[in-house]
Structure 1
Amino acid sequence: MGKKNKKKIQSFQQANSASMRSHDFTVFELAFLKADVMKRHGKVDNQISPASTTGAVITTKTPDAVNKQFSPPPKQPFPASAPLKERTISSPPIITKKDMDIARPQTTKVLPHIPKPATPTLRKSPLMKLRLKPLQHESFNLDATTLQHEANNDDKLIKPKKDLDVDGRSQVYERDPKNEIDIVLGFDFGTSSSKIVIRDSGRQTAYAIPFGSLACSGNSYLIPTKIFISDDGTLSLSPAQHSFGNLKIHLMDSPEKIIFSAQNTSVTINAAELAAAYMALVIRRARYWFLKQMKLIYKDTHIYWHVNLGIPSRNYDDQKIRQTFQSIAMAAWRISRIDSIINIEEVKKYLKEVANHPASKEEILNSNADEDLWLHPDYVTTHPEVIMEVVGYAHSPLRINGLHMLVDVGATTLDTATFLIRSDLGEDVFTLLATKVERYGTMELHKHRVQALKNSMQECLSHIINIDPTLPLPDTTHYEHQVAKNDLSQNDSIFFKECRSNIGELIRHTKEARDPNSAAWAAGLPVFICGGGARHPIYKDLIESLGSKIAESLTNFNEFSIKAIPKPQKLEAPELPHNEYDRLAVAYGLSFTSDEIGKVIPESKVSDIHREKKVNRFEERYVSKDMC
């Protein structure tokens, strides 16, 4: 830019600033003034008059002339009421981008429509009636199901918080579903660990549910049967202030038994409530995993959920226990539909509502109870664990009809049963002949050994203490404690003798009164050895050797034919260790619908078979002359 042009701009800016000292003109006023000045001098922007064509050009004028030419006239304020149309404008007003931004009305961004969930979810759990400590600080762990927190001593209600990695949804479709399907959740509620298998009856495919960081060591499909309670009443599968195991044992002994009492309050928790809370937490996590993994498959499908729960075969005849398990499973499903953290009061509430819920009344048969966050009682059933363990075998090519025996070695109990497998018009029929459930599991053996060790130590300590004060002090070897190995051996011998007697009595009763004419006695009784304890050599050897000993005392008995339960081809369990399918056998059998399982006849419905005893009398062997 030349020096002359710079001087022009400076002069123009000085003139404008001098004029605006007395009045601050707006952008529109300046535009109108400029138009009037241009009109008065007979000029338009970017145009030159005819008179100037023969004379000097504008650029030859002096700076004073230029300043005089573009200086605005004296200030003439516009009447406030004068309409704009009375002014003649030769050039439109110049409006800057800044002025346009100021004049532009503010607008809000339109967000895309987010569809509502397909099924209703409970975002806030009912307020607890118990006044507990509030949450002050929360640290979230993605592998945990609850919050770890610090609390103060203020007496306030806990507000339920949204769980981070699970929720209570039961469907995945986002619009009206086009299809329907029955899906069964098989829950194997074990004494030491639980397992869940979810099966699509339409696709004939089952999925073992892994539990990640919550799983038992060495097998991701097993979750400890243990629940934790925080001081604020929060229930969790992750470690907290209070932990409770033996949930199934407590439930079998007495559902109303008080297991936990909150400090400084009158709140108590019984065995049934702990079992329902545990089942709810496990069901919610399993269902969430399944829906997340299978979202694309079921995005246009409404799922009709079923829950099958296993119970000990001995209790299958007990209607009260079956009803208790069913009610707990129904309440557990309802509690599992809660999105937020589960607390004690909610468990109590829904257990009480089970009996009063409309779906449980026979006159209202609403099968689509999932819409109401509950399942219909027809969709929640109990089945004997022993029979469920062989459902996979019954559906396999290895199946043999007739008499079988199964021994399940668990952590606490030793379950033994004899049963028949047959078909009736295409339907599988399982007949329970004899069942026994005794506490001879692996942990019971451990307890017996520990007790034997205590007894031996007590005896040794008594020997160390009682010394003759008149004799010299014994040397240090006198104080060394040595547990006699024969004490532990003797303990094991007594323990396993009782085990053999328990199994032997069941076999003898079956052969003499339940099914004496079975061909399996002579061919070799098919026996399944299952459960976590079955991997212990001492249990396996005991059962296998028992067949030989029984054959020595029973006629027409040809030992045992040990069989393995085959892993089904349509069970998806990629992380399952080799040769450990039997740990999932009960859950897999429970994942079938009741129609697919078939008919189960309880032990009480089967009459004994009494063989005619041969009468060995002299009169029958005597041949008289009259008979000749």
Structure 2
Amino acid sequence: MRKLSDLRAKLGDKAMATIAIQKQAGSAHSTRKAELAIAKRVPNRPSAAAKLPKPPKVLARKPRRGLKLRPAKPVEMLPEEKAPPFQWWELPEGASVREVPPNRISESSHAILDSLLTPGGGEEVRDDLQELFAVIGLDFGTSCTKVVVRFPYETGELTVAIPAPEYCVSNNQPHLWQTVLWLRPDGQFLAWPEEGAVLLHALKQGVMASGADGNVTPGKYRGLSVSKADAATAYLAYVIRYTRGWLRTHRPNLFRGRHTRWLLNLGLPAEKADNGQLTATYRQIAAAALLCANYTDRPDIEIIKLFLTDDAVVTAGMSEDKALELGIGVFPETVAEAVGFVKSNLASLDLYLMVDVGASTLDICTFRLHRWEPGTYQYALQSGMVRPLGVEAMHWFLGQGRTVAAFIQQCERGLWEVVWATRTDKDPNAQCWQDGQDLSVFLVGGGAKSLIHRKVIDDLTPWLRTNTKGNGVRLVQLPVPKTLDTSTPVIDFGRLAVAWGLSYPEDQIGKVVPPSQSTNVPMAVRREVSEEYVSKDLV
């Protein structure tokens, strides 16, 4: 027991030192932002409420038409048949993607991995070295993870897409890292397969579905149970450490004679932006993972829990400002995907619908883009929904004996509810509902090329024409950035769009207003002319 107590004390001392160094990174970045703001003479930002535009004045308006939740062409039924009540389908907990994770790693691949993980750990911070700021944009996906790193204050603003380890590449796309992890019997986490190690999957779903404190494996290791948050933290720590090691190995000139201030931005589904508990969990996991990546040894359960339960990390989870002090930002994935579009000068101040088709989920969100200040925008999230209706989830759905038509109905219902909530409550005066106008739609994500999901988007046009005066939808393409540095060709930039947007420093992404704080735009009141007309009898 004495030996174990001494070990834990040493671990605690190392953890405190790591946290102190990372706080210096957050503080240094705040100083750098302030210096840039003074240089540019940027005025203080007004409150979000002050920036929300007032609705246009309309003297007369026809009453709203009721929501018609039905397909454009109703399905014919026999007279005695009745449509069953609609019910949302749920993905079985712990459902894995169809792609088989690796079951072995070659000696050469393992040697390469070790050579990149070693330099990815902590580094000496010295006052005589110039600071180098690096922002890790990390898209933590259900099936795979994507990473883009930006050096925002360097000449040319170098931005690098990090290739995944060769043995764990997903779908033969070099920048996609399978979201899987392994656990040894002694409680040590591994980023590679090993005989006797337990495979841990559904890492992201585990955190989102039923609470991050639930166990991912039966039994205990060294008397400690392994929670979903533990597994997600260990996986992200490996990704971060590998990312830093890859950059130091393949872009050594950037780091020569400098010490690096690492910042981390993580994305979560837009609908969850109002879920304070989940957002806090994401911040806590991200902070613990970034700190654990500095640790010299391989992460095990005890080390992971030590970081996750540290007061500074727990406080960072509960406070956005405290998270920024550790260099951590959490943003809606919808906003991250839109950042590249907004910064390309193709965007207008308008209402948009973002439909992100992932492996497990279909993430639907409407947002209005406002000007926040010169060069900065505000994303007012109007309405959102995330359902387990992604490409991989569709195969689980069909595997339960259900039909493609029933799956399409689930997707359509999600789109209708989000669009109609925006139409009736949040933004009823948007131009897209008026004669001849279109609703701008982004169809993004790894499953954006799915024919089933594309049909759902196409069918939104006749539904809009039936329920509004609008003309339908207009698909908007995300521009491929010309400045993205890749060691191998990018097959599908849409898979990297979230990571690209997250790679911007938090103050360059813009102001995000969650749905609960996005002020409802009131409907214009129809006024009777007779109420204002003064007759001769009243004179």
TM class by shorter chain equals 0.7 to 0.9
Q: Is the 8 A contact 2:288 2:313 kept in 1?
A: no
Q: How far did residue 388 of structure 1 move?
A: 0.6
Over residues 28-55 of structure 1, what are the superposed CA-to-partner deviations in whole Å (9 max), with x where a residue is unaligned?
Answer: xxxxxxxxxxxxxxxxxxxxxxxxxxxx
How far apart, CA to CA, are the structure 2 residues paired with 1:306 and 1:528? 28
How far apart, CA to CA, are the structure 2 residues paired with 1:141 and 1:244? 22
How far apart, CA to CA, are the structure 2 residues paired with 1:320 and 1:264? 27
Report the equivalent of 1:372: none
**1:404-415 to 2 correspondence within 5 Å?**
404-415=352-363
Q: How far did residue 521 of structure 1 move?
A: 3.3
* Partner residue of 1:218 out of 152, 155, 172: 172
* Partner residue of 2:459 out of 545, 549, 556: 545
Report the equivalent of 1:269: 226
Which runs of no fewer than 5 residues in structure 2 stay unpaired? 1-16, 20-104
Matched, 1:200 2:151: yes
Over residues 458-511 of structure 1, what are the superposed CA-to-partner deviations in whole Å (9 max), with x where a residue is unaligned?
Answer: xxxxxxxxxxxxxxxxxxxxxxxxxxxxxx6xx111111121011011111112
DSSP 3-state at the match of 2:170: coil
How far apart, CA to CA, are the structure 2 residues paired with 1:358 and 1:536? 41
Q: Is the 8 A contact 1:417 1:432 kept in 2?
A: yes
How far apart, CA to CA, are the structure 2 residues paired with 1:174 and 1:270? 33
* Partner residue of 1:285 out of 242, 245, 251: 242
Task: Flag the 1:317–1:361 CA change in 2: closer, same or farther, 3 A.
Answer: closer
DSSP 3-state at the match of 1:268: coil
Report the equivalent of 1:440: 389
Which runs of no fewer than 5 residues in structure 1 stay unpaired? 1-119, 123-138, 148-162, 366-374, 453-487
How far apart, CA to CA, are the structure 1 residues paired with 2:300 and 2:507? 36
* Partner residue of 1:425 out of 354, 357, 373: 373
Q: Is the 8 A contact 1:273 1:347 kept in 2?
A: yes
Amino acid of the residue matched to residue 547 of structure 1? Answer: T
How far apart, CA to CA, are the structure 1 residues paired with 2:408 and 2:316? 48
* Partner residue of 1:186 out of 137, 145, 156: 137
Task: Flag the 1:215–1:332 CA change in 2: closer, same or farther, 3 A.
Answer: same
Over residues 579-623 of structure 1, what are the superposed CA-to-partner deviations in whole Å (9 max), with x where a residue is unaligned?
Answer: x11111111111100111121111111221221454789x88999
How far apart, CA to CA, are the structure 2 residues paired with 1:346 and 1:145? 24
Task: Flag the 1:623–1:165 CA change in 2: closer, same or farther, 3 A.
Answer: closer
Task: Flag the 1:140–1:348 CA change in 2: closer, same or farther, 3 A.
Answer: farther
Q: How far did residue 176 of structure 1 move?
A: 6.4
Q: How far did residue 292 of structure 1 move?
A: 1.3
Matched, 1:494 2:406: yes
Task: Flag the 1:377–1:255 CA change in 2: closer, same or farther, 3 A.
Answer: farther
Matched, 1:141 2:107: yes
Q: How far did residue 356 of structure 1 move?
A: 7.0
* Partner residue of 1:318 out of 265, 275, 280: 275
Q: How far did residue 336 of structure 1 move?
A: 1.2
How far apart, CA to CA, are the structure 1 residues paired with 2:161 and 2:399? 36
DSSP 3-state at the match of 2:331: strand
Report which stretch shifted further, 244-253 or 258-267.
258-267
TM-score by length of 1: 0.63
Q: Which 4+ residue blocks in structure 1 deviate beyond 6 angstroms? A: 171-176, 356-362, 619-625
Task: Flag the 1:239–1:248 CA change in 2: closer, same or farther, 3 A.
Answer: same
RMSD over aligned Cα atoms: 3.3
DSSP 3-state at the match of 2:255: coil
Q: How far did residue 396 of structure 1 move?
A: 0.3
Report the equivalent of 2:338: 390
How far apart, CA to CA, are the structure 2 residues paired with 1:409 and 1:210? 22
Task: Flag the 1:172–1:436 CA change in 2: closer, same or farther, 3 A.
Answer: same
Q: How far did residue 568 of structure 1 move?
A: 1.1
Amino acid of the residue matched to residue 144 of structure 1? Answer: H
Over residues 253-280 of structure 1, what are the superposed CA-to-partner deviations in whole Å (9 max), with x where a residue is unaligned?
Answer: 2011111134786432011101101111
* Partner residue of 2:287 out of 291, 310, 330: 330
Q: Is the 8 A contact 2:287 2:313 kept in 1?
A: no
Q: Is the 8 A contact 2:284 2:316 kept in 1?
A: no
Amino acid of the residue matched to residue 237 of structure 2? Answer: A
How far apart, CA to CA, are the structure 1 residues paired with 2:233 and 2:240? 10
DSSP 3-state at the match of 2:459: helix
Matched, 1:249 2:205: yes
Over residues 343-374 of structure 1, what are the superposed CA-to-partner deviations in whole Å (9 max), with x where a residue is unaligned?
Answer: 22221222222547999999x99xxxxxxxxx
Report the equivalent of 2:502: 590
TM-score by length of 2: 0.72
Q: Is the 8 A contact 1:205 1:570 kept in 2?
A: yes
Task: Flag the 1:492–1:356 CA change in 2: closer, same or farther, 3 A.
Answer: closer
How far apart, CA to CA, are the structure 2 residues paired with 1:196 and 1:527? 25
Q: How far did residue 567 of structure 1 move?
A: 1.1
DSSP 3-state at the match of 1:220: strand
Task: Flag the 1:121–1:418 CA change in 2: closer, same or farther, 3 A.
Answer: closer
Q: How far did residue 397 of structure 1 move?
A: 2.5
**1:88-127 to 2 correspondence within 5 Å?**
none
Task: Flag the 1:337–1:145 CA change in 2: closer, same or farther, 3 A.
Answer: farther
* Partner residue of 1:535 out of 449, 453, 461: 449
Report the equivalent of 1:353: 310
DSSP 3-state at the match of 1:307: strand
Report the equivalent of 1:234: 188
Q: Is the 8 A contact 2:189 2:234 kept in 1?
A: yes
Greater C-alpha radius of gyration: 1
Amino acid of the residue matched to residue 379 of structure 2? Answer: F
DSSP 3-state at the match of 1:277: helix
Q: How far did residue 301 of structure 1 move?
A: 2.2
Q: Is the 8 A contact 2:121 2:296 kept in 1?
A: no
Q: Is the 8 A contact 2:180 2:191 kept in 1?
A: yes
Q: Is the 8 A contact 1:194 1:222 kept in 2?
A: yes
Task: Flag the 1:358–1:442 CA change in 2: closer, same or farther, 3 A.
Answer: closer
Q: Is the 8 A contact 1:146 1:341 kept in 2?
A: no
How far apart, CA to CA, are the structure 2 residues paired with 1:553 and 1:358? 47
Q: Is the 8 A contact 1:504 1:550 kept in 2?
A: no
Over residues 115-161 of structure 1, what are the superposed CA-to-partner deviations in whole Å (9 max), with x where a residue is unaligned?
Answer: xxxxx999xxxxxxxxxxxxxxxx983423899xxxxxxxxxxxxxx
Task: Flag the 1:510–1:341 CA change in 2: closer, same or farther, 3 A.
Answer: same
Amino acid of the residue matched to residue 180 of structure 1? Answer: E
How far apart, CA to CA, are the structure 2 residues paired with 1:143 and 1:290? 18
Q: Is the 8 A contact 2:385 2:418 kept in 1?
A: yes
How far apart, CA to CA, are the structure 1 residues paired with 2:487 and 2:412? 37
Over residues 298-325 of structure 1, what are the superposed CA-to-partner deviations in whole Å (9 max), with x where a residue is unaligned?
Answer: 2122221111111111121222222211
Over residues 182-201 of structure 1, what are the superposed CA-to-partner deviations in whole Å (9 max), with x where a residue is unaligned?
Answer: 21011111111111111000
DSSP 3-state at the match of 2:110: coil
Q: Is the 8 A contact 2:170 2:177 kept in 1?
A: yes
Q: Is the 8 A contact 1:186 1:198 kept in 2?
A: yes
Q: Is the 8 A contact 1:405 1:527 kept in 2?
A: yes
